[in-house]
Amino acid sequence: MTALASLAADQGMSLNDVMAMPEQDGWVYSGIGSTDGESYDCSAYVTAMYKHAGLFGEFEINSTEFTTRDVYLLDFFDKTSPLPEQCIAADPSLPYCQLAGQYQVDIGEEYATVEASNLMS
């Protein structure tokens, strides 16, 4: 932490300034072995895939600022088509498809309700 505070001070920033900086897509981290490269947690990884697939269109999106809740609230999910049989077999009580996992992921009825917009995070 001392090294970080020193680097921040050299750039005229406080440690609070550094901690408040949003992580940006494409930042590359160096470290030991497999930690090198772009850094994404699960929700940022899914959002980056949506972004690269063109689901956000021309909107400027920073994937690393998305939470798990943000991902499932996006209106990218089809709520009108019947669920495939394998989804119903896996869990007939869910209105969405969860094929795997020991625990049921309850995301409520608000999934797929938020329209993507520019600079959302």
Interval 29-50: pLDDT, tens: 666 666 666 777 789 889 999 9
Predicted confidence (pLDDT) per residue in 61-117, tens digit: 989 889 999 999 999 999 999 999 999 998 888 888 888 888 888 888 889 999 999
Question: Rounded distance, CA 38 to CA 22, Å?
Answer: 15
- Residues 114 and 24: their CA atoms lie apart, in Å, by 22
In the chain, where the domains are located: 1-39, 40-121
pLDDT score of 33 = 63
* Average pLDDT, integer, range 5-34: 79
Pick the more confident residue, 93 or 27: 93
Residue 10 CB neighbour total at 10 angstroms: 8
**What is the longest distance spanned by two Cα atoms in the chain?**
60
CB 78 within 8 A of CB 55: no
Residue 4, token pair as written in the block = 């970080």
